[in-house]
Amino acid sequence: MRSSQGIVSAALGCCLNCLLSAIDFVNKFTINVTAMTGENYCSSARLAYELLKRNLLSVVVVETISTRLLFGIFLVVSLAYAIMVWGVLKAATSLGRDAYLVTGFAWLLLFMVLGYFVHVLDNVIDAVYICYTADKDRGRVSKPDVHSVYVLLPVSRNDTSSLAVQEISC
């Protein structure tokens, strides 16, 4: 009896996590559409969903690539900085064990600062993706260099013709 409860609990937890992830993706792009159009949140949620659905673009790919790649770079840079601080402290001072404390504090400070910049850059990437999607929906290219990057991302399905519900200007 206990193993069946564990399986049901795990299945429900998995479904809940999937639902929360889907809501998070919609919310992430909805906020960008709200900022661009000035529409209320519900209208922006519908517009973002329809815009992405009509163009059959994979928001998961953009989310995965941008967020994970930025976080990986940010983590490597902050760890390299901490190692460099530790090396300089060991070579130039006689702090002993306090060098680890100073190194940890330096890493934490850089981690917080870089985390802020990565978060802002991730939001910019999402906003540019919405603009790319709006351009694709209208069948035009307003920024060729942006299109040359986003066109390389895999899409979920083949492109289809689209009907514009509302225009987003970028």
Residue 163, pLDDT score: 35
Residue of 139, 137, 151 lying closest to 50 (CA atoms):
137
- Residue 133 belongs to some domain of the structure: yes
Is residue 102 assigned to a domain?
Answer: yes
User: In the chain, how many domains are there?
Assistant: 1
Q: Is the pLDDT of residue 26 over 90?
A: no
Percent of residues, the chain, with pLDDT higher than 90: 15
Structural domain contains residue 53: yes
| pLDDT tens-digit series, residues 97-121 | 888 898 999 999 999 999 999 989 8
Domain hosting residue 79, numbered range: 30-150
Q: What is the pTM of this model?
A: 0.63
Query: Helix 98-138 vs helix 59-92: angle between axes, to the nearest 10 degrees?
Result: 160
Instruction: Identify whether 95 is part of a domain.
Output: yes
The reply to whether 77 falls in a domain is yes
